Structure 1
Amino acid sequence: MKLVTVLMLTALPLYCYAGIGCDLMNDVVNMTIHPDVSVTEYMSSVQDFSPSEETEKAFEFMKECFLHKSRETLENVLELQQTIYSSFWCAPY
């Protein structure tokens, strides 16, 4: 799970560097991390980004992983997210 989280969050600067979809990506990441968003609610929100059943299962797995984390861990992930967003590569966007 930690590896998946790190890989997902390290890909954000590259996505932001392209200059498209940063707000959309930010919303999806926040919904993934937020403990009050249910799996059903999350899946309905990311349905447009799920071209296959395998992708849908991956989204569901990712959300369930975050639901089982402590508040402290989730706060640390949010802090990491903000560090990435304010990085040299994402700062202009």
Structure 2
Amino acid sequence: MKLVIVLMLTALPLFCYAGSGCQDIEYVIEKTIDPNESENQFIQDLEEYIPGGITEMALREFKQCFLNQNDETLNNFGVLVETIYKSEQYAGY
């Protein structure tokens, strides 16, 4: 499961780098850490990014990992993402 999370998080910056813009990444992260968004709604919102059933199953597990976290952890994750976006290493993207 940890490998799936790592792969998903590493794929997000590559998607941004491919020229689509980081608004898509911010949208996905916002939906991922929203505790009020169910797995089914999450899948519906990201349907255009899901090529098949295996990816959908992985995203359901991915979302469930975040649903299992408390609000403090989710807020801290949001702060982490913002810190990464504002870092010097990320400035090249």
**What range is the shorter-chain TM-score in?**
0.7 to 0.9
Residue 77 of structure 2 corresponds to residue 80 of structure 1: no
Residue 14 of structure 2 corresponds to residue 41 of structure 1: no
CA distance in 2 between partners of 1:73 and 1:3 (Å): 20
Aligned length: 93
CA distance in 2 between partners of 1:89 and 1:18 (Å): 17
Shift of 1:20: 2.4
Give unpaired runs (5+ residues) of structure 1. Answer: none
TM-score, normalising length: structure 1: 0.79
- Corresponding residue number in structure 2 for 1:70: 70
Residue type of the alignment partner of 2:36: D
Give unpaired runs (5+ residues) of structure 2. Answer: none
Percent identity reads: 46
CA distance in 2 between partners of 1:23 and 1:89 (Å): 19
| Residues 33, 66 of structure 2: 8 Å contact kept | yes
